[in-house]
């Protein structure tokens, strides 16, 4: 497709991905957000967890990988993201990073993943209005139906964890919709293909590039501007050439 070697493309991805991560790390600061939604999305590197060789099991970058995302419900800006494991240690780092980017007290909504409870307390203390939305599922789907069919969701439960969150805005709908955008935009997240990342660094670079494009270049259909423009981070829509210049 490109007429150049795969290694050349990966080298460019590495340089641009690092530049995108660094730029967003520096730029996405002192954000005046009101409502934040967080979630995690699954992918894998090298091989699926069950197929990872015994000598590599338990090592980072082999098997399950999770991308943590924090989205501003109003501007749709991805405020913070982190590729790692789905454990308490990674949750702490993610929440600390999110807290460092906000200029004021916010309302936070997550799913019922227990890791969030300790991570949010560690990063924000009591200075946050925090609620979880817990989905209630029915019985497991029958194996003969379909390979990736989830259990039926019977309903949701809103749980106040800290402060005085407005339950009318206790939702993870926007950030879950962002999961679909990620799977549609990054081939590495597409199920049942051989396009998965072979190295964790390549996955990190691809995620950083995706969110750079999403935040600064892509017009949001509802907002009619980019999320970064809506959030006041920039006053113009970026072009792909602008992103490439970051790596120079």
Number of domains comprising the chain: 1
In a domain, 110, yes or no: yes
- The CATH number for 43's domain is 3.30.420
User: Which residues constitute the domain of residue 46?
Assistant: 29-205
175-209 pLDDT, tens digit per residue, is 999 999 999 999 899 877 788 899 999 999 999 99
Q: Is-contact 199 46, C-beta < 8 A?
A: yes
pLDDT at position 33: 97
The string of DSSP codes covering 92-146 is HHHHHHHHHTBSS--EEEE-S-THHHHHHHHHHTTSSEEEEEEEEE-SPPPTTT-
pLDDT at position 2: 74
pLDDT mean over 158-166: 94
In a domain, 127, yes or no: yes
Query: What kind and span of H or E run contains 223?
Result: none
38-85 pLDDT, tens digit per residue, is 999 999 999 999 999 999 999 999 999 999 999 999 999 999 999 999
Three-state DSSP at 77 gives coil
pTM over 0.85: yes
Three-state DSSP at 42 gives strand
In a domain, 190, yes or no: yes
């Amino acid at each position: 497709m490109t007429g150049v070697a795969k290694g050349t493309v990966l080298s460019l991805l590495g340089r641009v991905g690092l530049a995108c991560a660094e730029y967003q790390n520096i730029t996405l600061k002192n954000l005046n957000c009101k409502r934040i939604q967080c979630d995690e999305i699954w992918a894998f590197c090298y091989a699926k967890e069950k197929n990872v060789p015994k000598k590599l099991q338990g090592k980072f970058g082999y098997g399950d990988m999770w991308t943590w995302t924090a989205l501003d419900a109003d501007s749709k800006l991805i405020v913070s993201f982190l590729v790692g494991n789905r454990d308490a240690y990674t949750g702490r780092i993610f929440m600390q990073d999110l807290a460092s980017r906000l200029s004021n007290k916010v309302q936070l909504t997550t799913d019922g993943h227990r890791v969030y409870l300790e991570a949010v307390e560690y990063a924000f203390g009591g200075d946050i209005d925090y609620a979880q939305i817990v989905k209630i599922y029915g019985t497991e789907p029958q194996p003969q139906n379909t390979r990736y069919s989830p259990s039926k969701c019977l309903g949701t439960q809103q749980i106040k964890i800290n402060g005085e969150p407005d339950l009318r805005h206790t939702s993870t709908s926007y950030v879950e919709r962002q999961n679909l955008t990620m799977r549609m935009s990054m081939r590495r997240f597409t199920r049942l293909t051989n396009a998965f990342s072979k190295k964790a660094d390549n996955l990190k670079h691809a995620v950083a590039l995706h969110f750079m494009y999403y935040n600064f270049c892509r017009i949001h259909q509802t907002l009619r501007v980019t999320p970064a423009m809506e959030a006041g981070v920039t006053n113009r829509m970026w072009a792909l050439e602008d992103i490439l210049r970051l790596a120079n």
